[in-house]
Amino acid sequence: MPMRLEVASAWLVAGLLAAPSPPLQAANQGLSADAIMARVARNQDRSQALRKQYVYGQNIHIVSHKHNGRLLREETADSDVAPTAEGTDKTLTQLKGRYLAKGKYESFRGDHPRIASMAV
């Protein structure tokens, strides 16, 4: 019997140690909505300032469908974005895709093709 008690108490201690601790109260629990929004604004300003220090690649994938679900147009654009003194400089490095024309899909690379069906 004493052995079972030791094993049971070892399991109890292990369970207590492994159990998640009670949730910590958030440090900003008492903040008003205005204070939270001011903090968000500061974070966004800091993010924009930091973004001006980095060159990064941007990948945009766009897909358009007809009302019946059929693919109308799909394109992928890759750009390099670099900081400048006035803001940012975005350079298109690759553009490719396909579009539906007269019941067939036409592929393209480079410039956007002029498509009569896309005229609004």
In a domain, 27, yes or no: no
Whole domain around residue 111: which residue ranges? 55-120
Confidence at residue 112, expressed as pLDDT on a 0 to 100 scale: 66
Confidence at residue 84, expressed as pLDDT on a 0 to 100 scale: 84
Confidence at residue 3, expressed as pLDDT on a 0 to 100 scale: 43
Task: Give residue 85's identity as a one-letter amino acid code.
Answer: A
In a domain, 50, yes or no: no
Q: In terms of pTM, does the model score above 0.75?
A: no
Number of domains the chain is built from? 1
In a domain, 120, yes or no: yes
In a domain, 12, yes or no: no
In a domain, 66, yes or no: yes
In a domain, 6, yes or no: no
In a domain, 118, yes or no: yes
Q: What is the 3-state secondary structure (H, E, C) of 32-67?
A: CHHHHHHHHHHHHHHHHHHHCCCCEEEEEEEEEECC
DSSP bridge partners of 73: 64, 99
Average per-residue pLDDT in the chain?
Answer: 77
Q: What share of the chain is helix, strand, coil (3-state, %, to 5)?
A: 30, 35, 30
Question: Would you say residue 8 has pLDDT above 80?
Answer: no
Report pLDDT digits (tens) over 35-84. Answer: 999 999 999 999 888 877 888 899 999 999 999 999 999 999 999 988 88
Indicate the Cα dihedral angle 7, 8, 14, 17, nearest 10°.
-150
